[in-house]
A and B are shown apart, each in its own frame.
Chain A
Amino acid sequence: MNIELNNVTRSFGKNKAVDGVTLEAGPGVLGLLGPNGAGKTSLLRMLATVLPPSSGGIRLLERDPGSTGARREIRRRLGYLPQNLGYYPAFTVVEFIEYFALLKEVPSARVPKAVAAAVERVDLGTKAKSRLRTLSGGMLRRVGIAQAIVNDPELLLLDEPTAGLDPEQRVGFRALLRSLAETSTVVVSTHLVEDVGAACSEVALMDTGHIVFRGAPAELVARGEGHEVGDAPLERGYSAVLQAARASGKGPVAA
């Protein structure tokens, strides 16, 4: 298993952003759904080793991120796209991706080819030498995705990756996810249920820090049968599960 979470909690003051999450995931695409404030970003930041848990156990890529040496090894094999991608406006696309390839300790001799491959995979070849300050929001998102995949990560964590992408780019992005997931574990946090339906092999739905549903997209669709809130089958499933979780007082609805 590339991800093993055991009763993980993360608190900010008195607020529990993640509350007793237990989760395992191997290769494939795991979609992380949930309303704003559900704890998705905090969970992803813990998986990215940016944020330590307040309690509980985390193992990533068969290693304990609590130890310095193991954490470094995990980070070499990790790709992470934060919700808010900070960037250096004067850097070109290639310079930015190369910078993170170097920080990820990709061997220097392999960096130019790895950067070129990442740029091409997100279809930014024509903008490779453009400064980041000249790019649109969607292009910057693709730059963020490129830096995340430049090291061929075994664990890829993407927070709202399709924000700002147009429909054609989203179709391409889903295909990219599927190809990456053949060998890697990809966790995608998103509000767009159609992305989950098209690209994810599994879905975890979070609410108030808990995972209230875990299963295949088809199972989530099945949960929504007969439910009226939502325009698409997955949206109906999403709404039904959330409603049921809140009515029952937050416990997991399915696993």
Chain B
Amino acid sequence: MNDDPYRSARMNEGTDVQSTGLNGVDLGRVWTGVAAEVWRRHPGPVERLAARLLRSPGLARALLTTPSLLLPWLISTVVIFGVGGIINLAGGEPLVWFLAPGIAAVGIAYAYGPGVDPAWELACSMPVSDRLVLLVRAVAVFAVNACLGLLVSAICYLLTAHGTHGGGNAAAVTAAVTFAWLIPMTAVCALTLAVAVAARSATAGALTGVFAWAVTVLGSRVSAGAFTAAVTDSAVYLPYLTIAVCAAAVVGYASRTQRRTQ
């Protein structure tokens, strides 16, 4: 190849093939064209859809490399939700509402950042903003967990006696629990993300989120007499949303380029 210094260097040492073929055809150029076709990766439908929605093939590719959206992680998430659903169907607590915020928070903490994304340093030098990557990945992890949680929760609701027979306070509570955990989940995820970004540690973020959620649930048991008060008591929605907004502001401040210190 005429423009391949590695080969040129070896040619100088008399160990390489000629790069110009018969009739002066530039075989290097021909081979690069062939290799481009042979090695070309064909994006799957999800990536194509994401690229269209995000209007950026790079961002779509970055989204699909999210550590906490890779298959092993997703399988673990489905298994945990499934076990929660089975316990619920067996007559236990509707566990999905308790599990979903914690699972989503851990997933978001491990979506992006130093120590989590192997190529984070390199990604920070890319025109596709690392802040945008963080945002897209966090939203995607949240959406996937919310969909899984809602699916399992809705199935449990439909299959339990409360769901099928309806009526009464128990049915109202079940209906509330089926969807109401989305608000605390938003707050817990935002808090987790804020701590992970500010402390530059996914583990610190995940531990904080899970601990805060556990304290909230136990606290509601003590103060209101029921674990489910953490999601069914409408008085706590405003504090949840306030936490979510404040945490989002912290993420915005802590993720700006000028803040990097290491």
Which residue numbers of A lie inside 8 Å of B, CB to CB? 12, 48-52, 71-73, 75-76, 78, 80, 82, 84-89, 94-95, 98-100, 102-105, 108, 112-113, 115-117, 119-123, 125, 128-129, 147, 168-169, 171-176, 178-179
Contacts and interface: CB of A to CB of B under 8 A. Distances in A.
Interface string B124-154: 1111110000000000000000000000000
B61 A172 contact: no
B121 A82 contact: yes
Given A89-B118, A99-B65, A105-B128, 7 more contacts: A12-B262, A88-B119, A103-B128, A105-B127, A169-B6, A172-B5, A175-B9
Given A51-B260, A175-B5, A75 B126 contact: yes
A72 B132 CA distance: 13
B32 A87 contact: no
A73 B31 CA distance: 31
Given A112-B39, A119-B35, A175-B8, A102 B57 contact: yes
A120 B129 contact: no
Contacts of A171: 9
- Looking at chain B's contact residues, the main secondary structure is helix
Contacts, number: 132
A86 B119 contact: yes
A231 to B, nearest CB: 24
A103 B123 CA distance: 8
Among B13, B61, B119, max chain A CB count under 10 A is at B119
Interface in B6-53: 6-10, 13, 28, 31-33, 35-37, 39-41
A72 B129 contact: yes
A80 B9 contact: no
B1 interface: yes
Contacts of B120: 86
A247 to B, nearest CB: 33
- Looking at chain A's contact residues, the main secondary structure is helix
A75 B261 contact: no
Contacts of B39: 94, 112, 115-116, 119, 128-129
A179 B119 contact: no
Given A103-B128, A120-B35, A172-B9, A88 B65 contact: yes
Interface of B: 1, 3-10, 13, 28, 31-33, 35-37, 39-41, 56-58, 61-62, 65, 117-129, 257-258, 260-262
Given A98-B41, A171-B9, A121 B4 contact: yes
B3 A179 contact: yes
Contact of A102 (B4, B5, B40, B61): B61
Given A112-B40, A121-B4, A86 B121 contact: yes
A242 to B, nearest CB: 27
11 contacts: A50-B121, A50-B124, A78-B125, A82-B121, A103-B62, A103-B127, A104-B58, A112-B37, A120-B32, A123-B7, A179-B5
Contact of B121 (A84, A98, A169, A174): A84
Contacts of A172: 5-10
A173 B7 CA distance: 10
A30 B224 CA distance: 69
Contacts of B257: 49, 52, 71
B119 A87 contact: yes
A166 to B, nearest CB: 12
Contacts of A84: 121
A88 B62 CA distance: 12
A80 B28 CA distance: 26
Nearest to B37: A112
Contact of B61 (A89, A99, A121, A125): A99
A94 B73 CA distance: 25
Contact of A86 (B9, B117, B260): B117
